[in-house]
């Protein structure tokens, strides 16, 4: 079946550094991918919609300069958390469309900023 791969699974970084998270659709092309953030014991909150070949669409309240999204190919979207701070520590998860009914998720990335 369709698979979405997300790397890394977890990352620990120092405050002020940048972290890149990759999301790949392994056996299908995804013109649109989505990035979510999840705090402990909470639901998933959509951060942005990543569009292949164009700028990402950010949800209200999400800093586009803080969370850089690049969707350079039909199978890869990246999320870069720039100048990370402890409050950016969270679980980040991506998803990609196979079709309207099938939306698959990556395994998520746990980010801890010290």
Partner 1 sequence: AQKITQTQPGMFVQEKEAVTLDCTYDTSDPSYGLFWYKQPSSGEMIFLIYQGSYDQQNATEGRYSLNFQKARKSANLVISASQLGDSAMYFCAMRASKAAGNKLTFGGGTRVLVKP
Residues found near partner 1 in the complex (CB under 8 A): 32, 34, 42-46, 49, 57, 91, 93, 95, 97, 100-108, 110
Least Å from the CB of residue 88 to partner 1: 17
CA-to-CA distance for 14 and 19, rounded, in angstroms? 10
With beta carbons less than 8 A apart as the criterion, state whether 69 and 50 touch. yes
Give the tokens for residue 49.
């919609």
CB nearer to partner 1: pick between 68 and 98: 98
CB nearer to partner 1: pick between 46 and 74: 46
Instruction: Give φ, ψ of 14 to 5 degrees.
Output: -85, 150
CB nearer to partner 1: pick between 51 and 80: 51
Least Å from the CB of residue 4 to partner 1: 10
- Mark residue 63 as left, alpha or beta (left: phi above 0; alpha: psi -120 to 50; beta: remaining): beta
């Amino acid at each position: 079946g369709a698979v979405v791969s997300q790397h890394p699974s977890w990352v620990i970084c120092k405050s002020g550094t940048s972290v890149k998270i990759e999301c790949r659709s392994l056996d299908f092309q995804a013109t649109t991918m989505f990035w979510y953030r999840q705090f402990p014991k909470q639901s998933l909150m959509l951060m942005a919609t990543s569009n292949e070949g164009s700028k990402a669409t950010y949800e209200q309240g999400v800093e586009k300069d803080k969370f850089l999204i690049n969707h350079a190919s039909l199978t890869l979207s990246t999320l870069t958390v720039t100048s990370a701070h402890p409050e950016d520590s969270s679980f980040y998860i991506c998803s990609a469309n196979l079709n309207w009914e099938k939306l698959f998720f990556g395994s998520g990335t746990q980010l801890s900023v010290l």
